[in-house]
Structure 1
Amino acid sequence: MKITPGGVVAAEWTKFSSLRSTWITAGISVFLLIAFGMIASASFSGEGLTSVDLALSGSALAALSVGVLGALLGAGEYTTGMIRATLTAVPRRLPVLWSKSLVAGAAAFVTMTIGALAAFAVGSAVLNDKVSGLGLGDDGVLRALLGAGLYLGLVAVLGVALGMLVRSSAGAIAILAGLLLVVPGLVPLLPDAISEAITPYLPSNAGSAVMALAPPDGTLGPWAGVAVFAGYVVVTLAAAAYRLKKTDA
């Protein structure tokens, strides 16, 4: 029986949604976004941050969480050995990678967009009196919240690509954590000229630019940042596709 692209997507969704770890990780991601946004909104009393910035304070940890979700989907079958059965059913191989990416990216986009909207609503309700509140109709607010969902959805796809590239959940998670959390902390140690030139193009800095209402000087604009981060994702997917096509399962 011929396996259609829709059938591969449906199969990957069934695998994805039937795992308890999927729902636990997705729940943790949403919880981190809402909890950190609420705490930051209630406690911050300084200047320089908007209510949107505060609501999305948990986005860095949420990014790591959804990246883990993608990595588990991408590498999980290599850990169990089920990848052989999957590739026997889908001998062209690449539809498996595209379907895993679509499922993880779409699921993360939907859940994290809901999480971002909820974080903004909850954060606005407990916002410190010294911080001016914003509404969804204000310039850039809805773009920033939807952009958070878009960025986090792309992080999930990056996790899938890394998982299928290195074929190890632990390895993919380690690389993802390094890219999103460790490298941004190390770059400031470089000479100022080099650090300033590199910093806007780091994966997490570029991707999260879409969540800023007014990008600070020296950073990328919202859509330029998303484009740069999407470039990282595309390159990683291409590498995963090449290995999937050219090497044994």
Structure 2
Amino acid sequence: MSSLLFPAVPPLPHAGKVTQARVVRSEWTKLWSLRSTRFSIGAALLLTVGVAALACGVVAHHWPHMSLQDRQDFHPLEVNLAGVQIAQLAFGVLGVLVITGEYSTGMIRATMAAVPKRLPVLWAKVMVYGLVVLALATPATLIAFGMGEAIFARHHIDIAFSHPGVARAVFGAALYLTAVGLFGLAIGAIVRNTAGGIAAFAGILFVLPPLMNVLPTSWNNAASPYLPLPAGQAVMALTRGAHQLAPWTGLGLLCAYTAAALALASILLVRRDT
């Protein structure tokens, strides 16, 4: 009688053991199944290209009326990469959401039950999100550069891609956005709360540098270049300021900050969720 009321459930087919490749595939599916991913990445790409085109158009329009000093201080590449300054916020916030979204919905329990070792989940998120940002940010910065220089060419104030340092700055901008996105992911993994993660990310990158101005000038000049934001942005500058790190040194320091945050996140992940 009981067998009629509760029929035996056939065993599930053996799907194999958990591997890093399968965890990566799972994270890829989860990343693109969320609307926030498509909206945030779309906004970031639109900002990278659209803000650059708008800024270049405004500068080109006012160029005939600009003073001699303003023309001497002008550099086309700085305007070309104006969109990166805003897109970094979208990529960083999405990095936070990549992991805090699972904690807020409770889906992290299913994820950790499927991957008991915990750390493969974090590494999979890092690999998937890092590659996605790099793959999308690289063409976006190239398109922004091409559109901006096409606008500037009408006034003969453009700069060639072959000019020393330009290729490094354009491709470096994509690497910078990738590092910022992964830094946001690391902060989200540490805090495990969406609001707190976004606040911590914005505070470290965008609030801390202006606060350094309250320090004596000599202290500010000595410490500010080593903060994550100024350090990473050095890779996008063609001319090195008096208190600025070398381009690859600055980007390397930002990557070191990101690696340190990910290391802390991995330690906390094992200790808190085991």
Residues 168-188 of structure 1 show CA distances to partners (whole Å, capped at 9, x for unaligned) of: 111111111112211112112
Is the Cα–Cα contact under 8 Å of residues 42 and 128 in structure 1 kept in the other structure?
no
Residues 86-121 of structure 1 show CA distances to partners (whole Å, capped at 9, x for unaligned) of: 111111111111111111111111111111111111
**Hey, what's the Cα distance between the residues in 1 that align with 2:42 and 2:88?**
13
For residue 80 of structure 1, what is the aligned residue in structure 2? Answer: 105
Matched, 1:11 2:26: yes
Matched, 1:215 2:246: no
**RMSD over equivalenced CA pairs, Å:** 1.5
Give the greater-gyration-radius structure (CA): 2
Could you tell me which of 4, 16, 22 is aligned with 2:37? 22
122-131 vs 88-97, greater mean Cα deviation = 122-131
Q: How does 1:114-193 map to 2 (within 5 A)?
A: 114-127=139-152, 132-193=157-218
Is the Cα–Cα contact under 8 Å of residues 30 and 111 in structure 1 kept in the other structure?
yes
Tell me which amino acid in the other structure corresponds to 2:45: V
Could you tell me which of 46, 60, 67 is aligned with 1:31? 46
**Hey, what's the Cα distance between the residues in 2 that align with 1:128 and 1:71?**
39
Is the Cα–Cα contact under 8 Å of residues 102 and 157 in structure 1 kept in the other structure?
no
Per the TM alignment, residue 130 of structure 1 is displaced from its structure 2 partner at its CA by 6.0
Residues 194-233 of structure 1 show CA distances to partners (whole Å, capped at 9, x for unaligned) of: 1101111111110111111222221001110011101110
Matched, 1:107 2:132: yes
Per the TM alignment, residue 129 of structure 1 is displaced from its structure 2 partner at its CA by 5.9
Is the Cα–Cα contact under 8 Å of residues 66 and 152 in structure 1 kept in the other structure?
yes
Partner of 1:58: helix, strand, or coil? helix
For residue 123 of structure 2, what is the aligned residue in structure 1? Answer: 98
Partner of 2:197: helix, strand, or coil? helix
Identity, % of aligned pairs? 41
Matched, 1:64 2:79: no
Is the Cα–Cα contact under 8 Å of residues 43 and 128 in structure 1 kept in the other structure?
no
124-133 vs 29-38, greater mean Cα deviation = 124-133
183-192 vs 148-157, greater mean Cα deviation = 183-192
Q: How does 1:35-46 map to 2 (within 5 A)?
A: 35-44=50-59, 45=63, 46=70
The verdict on how the C-alpha distance between 1:246 and 1:187 changes in structure 2, with shifts beyond 3 A counting, is same
Residues 19-67 of structure 1 show CA distances to partners (whole Å, capped at 9, x for unaligned) of: 1110110011111111221222222343324221111012221111100
Is the Cα–Cα contact under 8 Å of residues 150 and 158 in structure 2 kept in the other structure?
no
Structure-1-length-normalised TM-score: 0.95
Is the Cα–Cα contact under 8 Å of residues 64 and 176 in structure 1 kept in the other structure?
no
**Hey, what's the Cα distance between the residues in 2 that align with 1:80 and 1:10?**
21
The verdict on how the C-alpha distance between 1:208 and 1:89 changes in structure 2, with shifts beyond 3 A counting, is same
For residue 50 of structure 1, what is the aligned residue in structure 2? Answer: 75
Partner of 2:160: helix, strand, or coil? coil
The verdict on how the C-alpha distance between 1:126 and 1:158 changes in structure 2, with shifts beyond 3 A counting, is same
**Hey, what's the Cα distance between the residues in 2 that align with 1:70 and 1:134?**
33
Q: Tell which has more relative contact order, 1 or 2 (C-alpha 8 A, sep 6+).
A: 1
Tell me which amino acid in the other structure corresponds to 1:85: A
Q: How many positions carry a matched residue from both structures?
A: 249
Is the Cα–Cα contact under 8 Å of residues 41 and 128 in structure 1 kept in the other structure?
no
Is the Cα–Cα contact under 8 Å of residues 51 and 131 in structure 1 kept in the other structure?
no
Residue ranges of structure 2 left out of the alignment (5+ in a row): 1-15, 64-69
**Hey, what's the Cα distance between the residues in 1 that align with 2:228 and 2:99?**
20
